[in-house]
Structures are given as structure tokens and as C-alpha cells.
């Protein structure tokens, strides 16, 4: 019987990767995830360990990753725990891995932000090719403004393929990518997609660096929750946040509450 992740974060991650065309295979002690159309997507090409890594297992897991992803420059492992347990992660950290623990937040219904939406801004699903081009420009602007931006050409390749998968999922009726627009410019964006069983997962919440701190993301998260209830029969909304970043507080203000911890180990490509 295929492994069902106990982690709601990884359960919804796998569901969305499948919608985007990824290959997901239960390999006994781990689940292999491969995205042939987007090979540089770290979390579209990873191994999900079914339990925390044991002492002395590093080399074995490295060999399994290389076997599953022989051309990958990155190495990424998800750990299917819910409380932050990471086992012998210190051995991975000594080998150059970063240990990440993100917060999985859930709610049954979002609440509107207290701060009003700027009157000239509209919230709506992406519809046209021009809309999706605007979404790509937003993603590139957000990456360029990051403290540690990814290399532009490589990031563009990843972002184009990622958006193509989300667009295909939307056109198949599995969810939508939503934007805050000022005329033709996309100021903020996110996705909401059906993970099955009444569960809907948010993706890629981001705001243009020139439009931050104006309440756009909060309004868009709330709008997306209502959209998901009306179009996907959503009962549980799931979003994942870095606990060290301000976004978690934003999500809590619109009704989300921490549910579990999602744990991961990642080693970026050399020189990145």
C-alpha cells in the first residue's frame, strides 16, 4: 500500500506535485518525487523520508538521491514528521545541508483584514496569456529583491516551468492562480489548489517589492480562501510559512493557526 504522509504539509505537497505532472513513487523507506519538465525545481525533485534519518545513514541517503535524480545539482530531503523531529540531521548539516523547519497553518475559513484594500486594485483569477506573463514578471521581481537572489537565468527557467504546471492545473479545474492587479500589472499573487478530501493548499504567496506593506497579501489570502470554498468545496485551508519571516503573522491575522512543523534538509547547487 502506498505511503500516506502523516505530515499535512508533505501530504499536500505531493498532491500538488501530482497535479503539476510529477512522478511520485513509494520506494519503501521513502517516496521519490521527480518532475521531468522542471528538473531544477528543488521541491519537485526530492526524496521524502518516511521517518527521521538515523545516525550513520547519510551516505546511504546520498546514494539513493543520486540514483533517483542523477542530473540534479541540488540535494533535498523531506522528513515525514509533524513535530520538527529531524533525527541525525546534524550529520547532514556537517555535510553542507541546511535544516529547515516551517510552520504548517490551517483554518476552516479566512477572515477579512482590518486594513482596506486600495480602491484601484482588483483581485481575480488569472485568465489570459498576458495575465500569466504578468505573474512571471512578479516572480522575477520578487526573486531580484531577495537578500540572496537566485541566478536570474536559472530562476527564470524554473519560474516559467512552475507557472506552466500551475496553469495546466487551473485549466484542468483543480484550482486557480489569483492576483492583485492594478490595470495590467500584477502586484501580488498566490495559488490555491485542491489536495483532495476537502483540503486546499496555498502556493507561492508573494508581493511586488514596490507594493509591500499595503495589505495586498492579506486581502488576497482571504479572497483565495473564499474562492476555494466556492469553487473547490474547501473545508480545510493549508498554508506553509517560515516562522522567522513576517508572513506567518499575516496568515494568523486572517484566521490561520499553527498545526504542525514541516521539516526538510536541503543542499543547494555548489556556488549558488
Domains, the chain, with CATH or none: 8-102+263-267 (no CATH), 122-234 (3.40.630.30)
Q: Is the pLDDT of residue 271 over 80?
A: no
**Three-class DSSP category at 137:** helix
Residue 173's pLDDT is: 97
- Tens digit of pLDDT for each residue in 89-123? 999 999 999 999 999 999 999 999 998 998 899 99
Task: Please give the Cα distance from 259 to 25 (Å, whole number).
Answer: 27
Burial (Cβ within 10 Å: 0-12, 13-18, ≥19) of residue 171: exposed
Q: Which pLDDT band holds residue 272 (cuts at 50, 70, 90)? A: low
- Mean pLDDT of the chain, nearest integer: 96
Mapped onto helix, strand or coil, the DSSP state of residue 72 is coil
For 137-176, the pLDDT digits (tens) are: 999 999 999 888 888 998 999 999 999 999 999 999 999 9
Q: What is the pLDDT of residues 225-257, one digit of tens each?
A: 999 999 999 999 999 999 988 899 999 999 999
Amino acid at each position: 500500500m502506498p505511503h500516506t504522509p502523516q505530515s499535512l504539509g508533505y501530504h499536500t505537497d505531493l498532491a500538488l506535485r501530482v497535479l503539476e505532472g510529477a512522478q511520485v513513487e513509494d520506494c519503501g523507506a521513502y517516496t521519490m518525487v521527480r518532475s521531468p519538465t522542471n528538473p531544477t525545481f528543488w521541491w519537485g525533485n526530492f526524496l521524502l523520508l518516511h521517518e527521521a534519518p538515523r545516525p550513520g545513514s547519510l551516505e546511504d541517503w546520498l546514494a539513493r538521491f543520486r540514483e533517483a535524480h542523477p542530473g540534479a545539482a541540488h540535494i533535498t530531503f523531506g522528513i515525514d514528521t509533524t513535530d520538527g523531529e529531524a533525527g541525525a540531521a546534524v550529520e547532514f548539516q556537517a555535510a553542507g545541508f541546511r535544516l529547515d523547519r516551517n510552520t504548517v497553518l490551517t483554518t476552516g475559513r479566512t477572515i477579512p483584514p482590518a486594513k482596506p484594500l486600495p480602491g484601484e486594485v482588483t483581485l481575480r483569477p488569472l485568465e489570459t496569456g498576458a495575465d500569466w506573463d504578468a505573474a512571471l514578471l512578479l516572480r522575477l521581481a520578487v526573486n531580484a529583491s531577495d537578500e540572496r537572489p537566485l541566478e536570474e537565468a536559472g530562476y527564470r527557467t524554473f519560474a516559467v516551468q512552475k507557472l506552466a504546471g500551475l496553469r495546466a492545473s487551473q485549466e484542468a479545474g483543480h484550482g486557480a492562480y489569483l492576483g492583485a492587479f492594478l490595470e495590467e500589472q500584477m502586484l501580488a499573487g498566490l495559488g490555491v489548489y485542491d489536495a483532495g478530501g476537502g483540503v486546499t493548499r496555498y502556493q507561492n504567496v508573494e508581493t511586488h517589492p514596490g507594493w509591500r506593506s499595503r495589505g495586498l497579501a492579506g486581502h488576497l489570502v482571504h479572497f483565495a480562501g473564499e474562492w476555494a470554498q466556492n469553487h473547490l468545496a474547501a473545508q480545510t485551508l493549508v498554508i506553509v510559512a517560515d516562522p522567522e519571516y513576517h508572513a506567518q503573522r499575516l496568515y494568523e491575522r486572517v484566521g490561520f493557526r499553527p498545526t504542525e512543523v514541516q521539516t526538510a534538509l536541503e543542499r543547494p547547487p555548489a556556488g549558488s
